[in-house]
Structure 1
Amino acid sequence: MMKFQEQFVQSVCFYFKKEGKVWLQKLPQIIRYCEQKWSLKMEDPYHLSINYVAPAKLESGKEVVVKLSIPGTEFLDELESLRLFNQHGMVQVIDFDKEKGIIILDKLFPGHTLATIENDEKACREAALVMKKLSIPAPIHTRIQTTAVREKSLRDTIVQNENGYGPLSSHVLRTSLSLFTKLNQSIAQYKLLHGDFHHYNVLASGNAWIAIDPKGLIGEVEYDLIQFLLNRLPEKDVYEVTKNRVDILTKDLNLDKERFLLWGYCHTVLATSWTVEGDNYNKRFYQMIEIFEKLYLKTYGREVGQSR
C-alpha cells in the first residue's frame, strides 16, 4: 500500500472532507493509470499541499511533471488558465484528463524558485518581467470567475462573524469589504490573472523565469501582485521593504499606485481571514494590514476607506 506524506493527507481531508478521503483511496490507482496511459515512470513526489505533484520520465527520456487534483471547480479553473495563458510566461501543458483531474506539464530546468534570489529588488524586477508576459486580456467566454468571487468570500465571512473574526475587528472587515466592492465596480481593463502569484510559484527555466500553479481569476493586474507582496518578508524593516516593492512594481508595470495599495489592504484582510478559518493564523499577514494602511496614509494623506 502506498504511503503518502502525513501533512498532505491531513490537508486533503481538511479541505475536501469526505470527497478528499475517497480521492486519497483512489490515488494509487490514478498514479498507475498515468503510468500506463502516457508510458511514463513517476518518481517520488515533491513536498505536497492539496495536490499530488511528482516528476516523471516518458519512454522517450523527456522529463515531465504530473499533477493530480480532485476534479472540480479549482482543477478546471487551473486547467483553463494554463491553456489560455498558452505559454505566455506560463508553464506548458503537454496533456490532461479532465475527468480524472490529471495535468501533464513540461518540467522546468533548473527549476528553483524566485525565492532563491536574496536581493529583493532583483526578485521584484524579475517578477515584473514575468507579470508582463502574463498580462493578456480577459477572454470573452470563460468559466473563470472575476475578483468579485474574492469579495463574496469576505462578505460570507462577515455575515457569519458580525463582531469580528479572530484578530480582525468588525471595522476592518467592513472597511475592506466596502473597498473590495468599490474597486471591483471600477475596474477599467479586465485581464486574465494568475490568482496566486508569488515567489514560490515562479520557477527558473533556462535564463528566464516561468509561472506555475495558476488559480485563475479575471480582474486587474494590481490585484494579482498582492500575494507576491505578502511573501518572503524579512524579520525587520517590513514597511521599507514593502514600500520599495510597491514602488518598483508600480514603475515597472505602470500600475495605478492608489488602487495597488487599496487592493493590498483588501486582499490582506481576506488572506488573514483565510488563515483564521484554516486554523493556521498568519500573524505576518495581519501585520501587513497596518503596513498598507500606513503606506496609503503617507502617500495620499488620508485613511484607507476615507472618501476623497
Structure 2
Amino acid sequence: MSPVEVPTSFRASPRWWHDADGAAWLDALPSLVEAAARRWDLEIDGRPSHGSNALVVPVRRAGEPFALRLTPPGDGVAAEVAALRFWAGRGTVQLEDADVDAGVTLLERLDATRSLASLPLDDAVRHLARLMRRLAVPAPASARSTGDVVRDRLPELTADWERLGQPFERRALDAARDAGAGLTTPAADVAVDGDLHHEQVLAGTREPWLAVDPVLLRGDVEYDLARILWTRLDEMADDDVPRHVRTVVEVADLEPERAHAWVLFRTVDYWLWGLAHGLTEDPVRCARIVTLLAG
C-alpha cells in the first residue's frame, strides 16, 4: 500500500502554525493510516480530504465503503466517540470502530461534497430543525448540561466585555445576561448536538442527511439555534433572520421565548469569544443578529 499523501492545504492551515505537537502529528499521519489499515483490514479507496482539524481517507473493507478519520489525540476524540456511540446512527454518521488513543475512527462513508450548506437556505433550515428534534432522545446523565454551559459562562460575560474595551453597547450585554439568567435550569433533559450547523450535516445513503462531529450535551434543544443563523447569515436578508427562527421553532417544536433567549445568549457569548480570538467577520454577524432580534 502506497503511503497516504497529506494535502498541502491541510499542512498550511493556521491551526498548525504555532503547534509543534500538531506538526509532528501531521508528519505521522501516513504511518497512522497504514497502521489503521492493517488493524482493520482496509484498502485505500481515493484521495484524502480534510477540514480544519481532521484528515479523512476513503477506504473499503471487504468491498464496503467507509471513511477513516484522523484527528490529533485528546479528550475531544473520546467525547466524539462517546457521542457517536450514544446516538448509534440515529441522525448521525455511524461509528464502525475507534482507536481513541490514536485519534482514529472508522466511520460510515458519507458524501463529503454535499452538505446542507449546498442547499437553499429554506430547505437547509428545515432539515436542521428536523434533525434537532430527531436527536432529542433521553440523554445520558453523564452528558454536560446546557444549563451548566450558561452557569459557567454567565459570570464571565461582563468581565470579558470590560477587558475588550466595551466593544459594543451595554444593552446588548444586558440582554444576553437577562436571557442567560432564565437558561441556567434547562426546560428539558434530552440529548442535544452542541455543534449542529449546515456544514456539519452531510448527505448519506442510509438516511438523506446525517450529522458529523457531534458534541453531546443534555438539556434544551434550542441551545444551538444561533449557530444555524450565523453560519449562513450573509445569505439572509434582514427579514429572513426572524423568519428562520420561526421556522426552526415550528418544525423542531421548540418554545419560542426560550429559543429567542438562547439565540441572544449564544450570539453575544460568541461575539465576545470571536473578538478575544481576533475574528473580524463573525463579530459583525453577531452584531447584526442581536440588532435584528433584540433591537
Same fold per TM (> 0.5)?
yes
Please, which runs of 5 or more residues in structure 2 have no aligned partner?
Answer: none
Please name the residue that 2:67 is paired with: 65
Please name the residue that 1:253 is paired with: 252
Deviation per residue, 1:173-228 (Å, 9 max, x gap): 4542453243123x121222111111111122236221111122222101132211
CA separation in 2, counterparts of 1:201 and 1:87? Answer: 15
Shift of 1:57: 2.3
Among the aligned pairs, what percent are the same residue? 26
Please name the residue that 1:301 is paired with: none
Shift of 1:231: 2.2
Mapped contact 2:57–2:67 kept (Cα < 8 A): yes
Using the TM superposition, name which of 30-39 and 152-161 deviates more. Answer: 152-161
CA separation in 2, counterparts of 1:259 and 1:152? Answer: 19
TM-score by length of 2: 0.85
The answer to whether residue 111 in structure 2 is matched with residue 112 in structure 1 is no
Please name the residue that 1:265 is paired with: 264
Using the TM superposition, name which of 228-237 and 211-220 deviates more. Answer: 228-237
Mapped contact 1:8–1:50 kept (Cα < 8 A): no
CA distance 1:29–1:44, shift in 2 (3 Å): same
SS in 1 for 2:84: helix
SS in 2 for 1:265: helix
CA distance 1:203–1:10, shift in 2 (3 Å): closer
CA separation in 1, counterparts of 2:222 and 2:124? Answer: 17
Shift of 1:89: 1.0
Deviation per residue, 1:3-42 (Å, 9 max, x gap): 443455544336x834423433332321221122122234
The answer to whether residue 28 in structure 2 is matched with residue 26 in structure 1 is yes
Please name the residue that 2:221 is paired with: 221
Please name the residue that 2:274 is paired with: 275
Please name the residue that 2:56 is paired with: 53
SS in 2 for 1:254: coil
Shift of 1:293: 0.9
Amino acid at match of 2:132: M
Shift of 1:138: 1.5
Deviation per residue, 1:123-151 (Å, 9 max, x gap): 222222222221111112x2x32232365
Mapped contact 1:92–1:105 kept (Cα < 8 A): yes
SS in 1 for 2:101: coil
Please name the residue that 2:139 is paired with: 138
Please name the residue that 1:189 is paired with: 188
Mapped contact 2:91–2:209 kept (Cα < 8 A): yes
SS in 2 for 1:95: strand
Shift of 1:251: 1.4
CA separation in 2, counterparts of 1:290 and 1:183? Answer: 21
Please name the residue that 2:101 is paired with: 99
Shift of 1:62: 1.4
Please, which runs of 5 or more residues in structure 1 have no aligned partner?
Answer: 295-308
SS in 2 for 1:125: helix
Q: How does 1:155-304 map to 2 (within 5 A)?
A: 155-156=155-156, 158-159=158-159, 162-164=162-164, 167-169=167-169, 172-173=172-173, 175-185=175-185, 187-206=186-205, 208-235=208-235, 237=237, 239-281=238-280, 282=282, 283-294=284-295
Amino acid at match of 1:78: E
CA separation in 1, counterparts of 2:132 and 2:274? Answer: 26
Mapped contact 1:111–1:205 kept (Cα < 8 A): no
CA distance 1:10–1:113, shift in 2 (3 Å): closer
Please name the residue that 1:125 is paired with: 126
Deviation per residue, 1:33-81 (Å, 9 max, x gap): 11221222343222420122232222x1211111112222222211111
CA distance 1:46–1:286, shift in 2 (3 Å): farther
CA distance 1:80–1:230, shift in 2 (3 Å): same
Amino acid at match of 1:183: L
Mapped contact 1:8–1:48 kept (Cα < 8 A): no
CA distance 1:123–1:100, shift in 2 (3 Å): same
TM-score by length of 1: 0.82
CA separation in 2, counterparts of 1:11 and 1:164? Answer: 23
CA separation in 1, counterparts of 2:264 and 2:138? Answer: 25
Provide the aligned C-alpha RMSD in A.
2.7
SS in 2 for 1:99: helix
Using the TM superposition, name which of 222-231 and 277-286 deviates more. Answer: 277-286
Mapped contact 2:91–2:210 kept (Cα < 8 A): yes
